[in-house]
Amino acid sequence: MEFVLNGGAVDVPDDGMSLLDVLRERLGIHSAKDGCSPQGQCGCCTVLVDGQPRVACVTPARRVAGREVTTIEGLEPARRDAMADAFTEHGASQCGFCTPGILMRLSALSANATKEKIDQALLAHLCRCTGWQTIEEATRALLSHPGDKPPPGGAPAEVATSARPRTGGAQRRAELEGGVAQRVGPEVALGGGGFAEDTAPPEALVAVPTSDGGWATGETLAEARKNAGKVQGRRTTIVPTHPLDVPEGNWDVTLRTTWVEPAYLEPDASWCLPGGEPASPLANGGAFGGKANSIAPQAAKRLAEEHQRPVRVVLSREDTVRLGPKRPPIAAGINRDGTGVIRVVRTPGIADAIHAVAPKLVVEEIDVAGPPTSSAIRAAGWAEAAVLLAAVNGRAEVTAPNGARAEATIATDGTVTVHVSAGRPLDTTILRSYCIGATHMAIGWVTSEGIAVDEEGRPHDLTIRSFGILRAKDMPHVEVRIDEDDDREPINGSDAVFAAVAAAAWLDRGLPTDWPTERGRTP
Ligand code: FES
């Protein structure tokens, strides 16, 4: 079967593969990312087919026979670099996993696209890191530039948005906020973050989890998934419930949370050579703690030994939901003097995290049938405690265990204003970007995020759109005010922002006991 890829003819077997699998597995195009295949819901694999954006994971390869497929590599270089520069300049790409797909879709927008058109285009995408605002800012900067008229496929455009050279401070700030090694630069926006899924040797055996806790292997990803007997997971009609009851007592404020999926866009992956060390699944994003204890590296190492050849381990979206840790649910009651009881699903380290900000809270750890939980997930435990304290104080002001300070307010028009003190800023664009991303995650946590888990403890919301991540059009405007006079050593500030915004969003909604407060708002 033939089609034209980035201007050149390619010939591939007509064997029923998706366009995404053909691009990634057969043709070595790794800029199209696999965030949820074959769900077609995250937009990370968006490419152009005859100039129109298409989600490659749900496009059968045979449907593009005789047609033109364009990936980020095939965009006109000046246009592509202008987009990457604009995203870098505005801090609109953090881990960078979602960015190439977004750039492909934006490349098909007309120069006079309205905000509504941009919002509409972004509806087809999910981003867990940025909180959308910087993406919209970068897009508007690109589209408003005179002479910027990209026809489908990306046309030459003289856009003077060359990114400021990023200093080591930018990278250091990104690493403090992301919690792991982080690249900053235009190559990240173009898909070159160095994810383990992209860097594995092409000859590696592919291994995927089976439903009984083992691993199925194959010469290709499609074969491994077939051998594992994978059945695509769906969103359930079961409503997320609260696994813990509020402790008995006469409390001033009560709160119950549910199972929250970290929902990072880049599923866990690793690879290893026999006798070698496995590639890190944290290559350009730590999933805000969600991948701290990923099963992928050890599996890759063990399987490479067993098979005596390179092995690439790949988790699908469903695998990450079934196997990955969740934010531990809580149920709590608190009084104005800071005393109270917080019940939490038993999780190593969680009591210490809570006591770091709320020493007067009694912590009761409860065993509950459910998916694994982790205290490594962003501000787990202490953010809940900080939110409870902020609620009884009536003020969304938080000091994180590391000393970072944040305060958040929500105006009547919904605008969120955040003040953050996180030591020397190092790079205000990067710090602002992470603070907006933390705002997005916090509002989602309070209002819309949660997954259904049955009585046996099995997650049932297995599609990425079922986690409740806020879409671009659901995000309020965010103003970030950075304390540039804070001359302390730089420290993570976005986790404090996460807790402060969660408190502000909860206060703004009148402190209803159960989160998420507005489930059903996102599709
Ligand atoms: Fe969008 Fe990380 S930058 S998911």
Residue range 261-273, pLDDT digits in tens: 999 999 999 999 9
Q: Supply the pLDDT for residue 166.
A: 64
Q: Determine if ligand 1 sits within 6 Å of the CB of residue 434.
A: no
Nearest atom in ligand 1 to 128's CA: 4
Nearest atom in ligand 1 to 92's CA: 3
CB of 225 within 8 A of CB of 267? no
Residue range 88-136, pLDDT digits in tens: 999 999 999 999 999 999 999 888 888 888 889 999 999 999 999 999 9
Q: Determine if ligand 1 sits within 6 Å of the CB of residue 96.
A: yes
- In angstroms, what is the span from residue 280 Cα to ligand 1's centroid? 18
Residue range 343-390, pLDDT digits in tens: 999 999 999 999 999 999 999 999 999 999 999 999 999 999 999 999
- How many angstroms separate the CA atoms of 330 and 327, rounded? 9
Q: Determine if ligand 1 sits within 6 Å of the CB of residue 464.
A: no
Which helix (H) or strand (E) covers residue 120, if one does?
helix 115-122
Q: Supply the pLDDT for residue 233.
A: 59
Q: Are strands 330-334 and 340-345 parallel, antiparallel or unpaired?
A: antiparallel
- In angstroms, what is the span from residue 58 Cα to ligand 1's centroid? 21
Q: Supply the pLDDT for residue 241.
A: 87
Judge whether residue 301 has pLDDT over 90: yes
Which residues, other chains included, contact 412 with Cβ-Cβ below 8 Å and sequence gap of 6+? none
Whole-model pTM over 0.85: yes
Angle at which helices 168-178 and 428-447 pack, to 10 degrees?
20
Q: Determine if ligand 1 sits within 6 Å of the CB of residue 130.
A: yes
- How many angstroms separate the CA atoms of 396 and 386, rounded? 9
Which residues, other chains included, contact 472 with Cβ-Cβ below 8 Å and sequence gap of 6+? 119, 122, 123, 125, 132, 135, 136
Judge whether residue 158 has pLDDT over 50: no
Residue nearest to atom 4 of ligand 1 (CA): 127
Nearest atom in ligand 1 to 98's CA: 1
Q: Determine if ligand 1 sits within 6 Å of the CB of residue 91.
A: no
Which residues, other chains included, contact 83 with Cβ-Cβ below 8 Å and sequence gap of 6+? 75, 103, 106, 107, 138, 142, 189
SS3 506: helix
Q: Determine if ligand 1 sits within 6 Å of the CB of residue 103.
A: no
Average the pLDDT over 476-482 and give the result: 98
Nearest atom in ligand 1 to 266's CA: 4
Q: Determine if ligand 1 sits within 6 Å of the CB of residue 288.
A: no
CA atoms within 13 A on the CB side of 497: 30
- In angstroms, what is the span from residue 96 Cα to ligand 1's centroid? 5
Judge whether residue 156 has pLDDT over 80: no
Residue nearest to atom 1 of ligand 1 (CA): 127
End-to-end CA distance of the chain: 36
Q: Determine if ligand 1 sits within 6 Å of the CB of residue 265.
A: yes
- How many angstroms separate the CA atoms of 122 and 43, rounded? 9
CB of 228 within 8 A of CB of 216? yes
Q: Determine if ligand 1 sits within 6 Å of the CB of residue 138.
A: no
Q: Supply the pLDDT for residue 231.
A: 63
